[in-house]
Amino acid sequence: MKGKLCFCALLVGFSLMFGIWTSVSFALDTWTGAFSFTAKSTSQEADNSGNEKFVTSNQTIAGTISLFIENDGLTKSGGCYLLFSGTDGTKICIEEIVGISTESQKSKSEKALLVGVGHFDTTVEGKSVTDGIVYVDLKATLKEDSSNDLVSIALSGKIGGGFNDKDDVNDINFVFSATLNNTTLTK
């Protein structure tokens, strides 16, 4: 189906594909859009008695999100299928992804569900945090024009992760969660 987006199921990690996305070109298409979400972070701190307590804080992260598609489906660019590049230097790279989608002959809008894992790098309290773990659980709406060419991808869902300083270099340990709301990607 020329220009029709068909994403039946995609399993990556072992390079096994159980479905495909078809697009008009054979080149890498980078779909980008602006994002902003508030990450609710929970860390632990010792109180004056030496008891470890949970402490929560919020941080807004904004920047550009990129999704990479080739004619045969989602593909990696720079090791990432999905990349969040924050204006503050935060980088969230989704390295493994699985998804399913609808396909309707009459509709100009399809739905997809994507779940992925990867790593993130950021700065916390002036200290560098690298290789934290992260997940995404996203819903996508794929809009097509009258020629059945994909014109936009709207993403929404959950993102979360955490970091444990196993070597006690920076004494930074935290988990976070956030909601990504209606972020539109275009080519």
Helix (H, G, I), strand (E, B) or coil at 51: coil
Is the four-CA dihedral 177, 33, 123, 92 of positive or negative sign? Answer: positive
Does residue 77 register a pLDDT over 90?
Answer: yes
Predicted confidence (pLDDT) per residue in 16-46, tens digit: 222 334 334 457 899 999 999 999 999 988 8
CB under 8 Å to 170, separation ≥6 — which residues? 124, 127, 128, 129
Q: What are the C-alpha distances in Å from 84 to residues 54, 80, 90, 180?
A: 27, 10, 8, 11
What are 113-158's pLDDT values in tens digits?
A: 999 999 999 988 888 888 899 999 999 999 999 888 889 999 999 9
